[in-house]
Each structure stands twice: as C-alpha cells, then as structure tokens.
Amino acid sequence: AFLINTVEYKVKGRQTRYLVKNKGKGKLWPKLELQKHPDSIVQIMQQEIMEYYNFIGVVERMEESLAAMTLLWQLQPTDVIVLSAKRSGGYDDAGHEGRCVRIPKAQRTPNVERYLQNKHVVANADVLLYHAVNASLDATISILGVDRVQSRTQQIRCLQRFATERCQDEAHFPCSADGEPQIELSQRSCYVQDAGC
C-alpha cells in the first residue's frame, strides 16, 4: 500500500520507500494523506525514518559506520566482522532461487554517469535521505569523539583485513567460485542465506 502511494505521489527513492514500508504505517499515514505535494511527502518520510531508526549506516563509510555503531551499542569490534558473499566478478544465488548468476564487474558508462548527475538527483528522496544520514553520522561521531571513532575504525579495518586474508577462501557461500549452488554447505559458514558469513 505505501509503495503504491509513493509512486502515486511521484516520490522517487527505493531505499526511502523500503525504510518507511518496514517502519509500518502507524502514525505516518495520517500525515501523508494530508499532503498533496511530493516535496512535503519526502520531508515527512525523511523525518520519520530519522526518528524511527536507532542507527543508519552509510555504505560508502562502512567502517566508520560500524565503528560508531559498536561504540553506541557497546559491541566488540569482532562482533561486526563478516566476509563478503557478493563480489564483483563472482556469483550470487539469484534471490535464493537455487541457481547462481554472475555478478558483473561494476562499470559507469557515460549514460549511467549522466543519469546519476541529473535525473537520479532530481526529486529523489534517497538522495535527500543520504545527505541526512551522512550529517547524522557526522554528528554521532562528533558526540562519541572523533579520535575514539577513528581508533575503532582502524581496529575494524585491521580485523576485517585479517579475517578476509585468513578466512575468505575457507568460507562456503551459497554459490561456489565456479558458479555452482552449494546452499547446504553455506549454512555452516553463514548466519542466514548469504548474510553474516
């Protein structure tokens, strides 16, 4: 229902819609139904997301996000170390359909670049949310202490590098290096499907 309405209101932003949908309808619906302009909808969605979730990390700042999260929730750095189950040029289990598909190497063609610079940015709730989450992460790091977060970030980087060097080749993911499904074997290395390996 919410996804249909965000499309109806012409709100772009897959991640924003996903986060609001997962939050549940609750008190958000009456606020949205009173709005007729996509900018108002985006503002409300962004505010609700930022108020509802305890922490949102930024992929491009993964180690820093994990460092802040471990400090906030009093976790050990080792609690957030996992192996990458999806790597460029490797294989993915295609949404757990029992088959493996090749993950293409990332490329930014001129058409993709133009889209990202123009159409993607215009009226896209995800872009606004991304900036809000970055600002929130900066504020959180400032409160926790920049030096403290940098130190924890370095610990996480070292541990991640060590885990990757020592364990990446020994872990069993849902797809083998040759693109063959190995679901049962991967259940010994991963928490759920291809997460937490």
Per cent of the chain over pLDDT 70 is: 73
User: What's the confidence (pLDDT) of residue 191?
Assistant: 63
Beta bridge partners of 101: 92
User: What's the confidence (pLDDT) of residue 25?
Assistant: 47
Phi-psi region of 126 (alpha: psi -120 to 50; beta: other; left: phi over 0): alpha
User: What's the confidence (pLDDT) of residue 9?
Assistant: 42
Q: Is 5 exposed, middle or buried (0-12, 13-18, 19+ CB in 10 A)?
A: middle
Tokens (6 digits) for 175 = 């797809």
Confidence bin at 152 (pLDDT 50/70/90)? very high
The beta-strand segments (E) located in the chain are 91-92, 101-102
Tokens (6 digits) for 193 = 């499907």
Q: For the whole model, what pTM was predicted?
A: 0.72
For residues 114 and 148, the model is more confident at 148
Confidence bin at 61 (pLDDT 50/70/90)? very high
Q: Is 183 exposed, middle or buried (0-12, 13-18, 19+ CB in 10 A)?
A: middle
User: What's the confidence (pLDDT) of residue 44?
Assistant: 72
Residue 88: CB atoms within 10 Å:
11
| pLDDT one-digit tens code per residue, 109-147 | 888 788 777 766 666 777 778 888 899 999 999 999 999
Question: Lowest-confidence range among 7-21, 61-75, 101-115?
Answer: 7-21
- Spell out the long-range contacts of 130-138 with Cβ–Cβ below 8 A and sequence spacing 24 or more: 130/58, 132/46, 132/50, 133/50, 133/56, 133/57, 133/58, 134/58, 134/61, 136/50, 136/56, 137/57, 137/58, 137/61, 137/64, 137/65, 137/68
User: What's the confidence (pLDDT) of residue 96?
Assistant: 67
Question: What residues have CB less than 8 Å from 12, skipping those under 6 apart?
Answer: 122, 123, 124, 125, 126
Q: Round to whole Å and give the CA distance between 159 and 166.
A: 10
Helices (H) and strands (E) in the chain, counts: 9, 2
Q: Average pLDDT for residues 72-93, to the nearest whole number?
A: 86
Confidence bin at 38 (pLDDT 50/70/90)? low
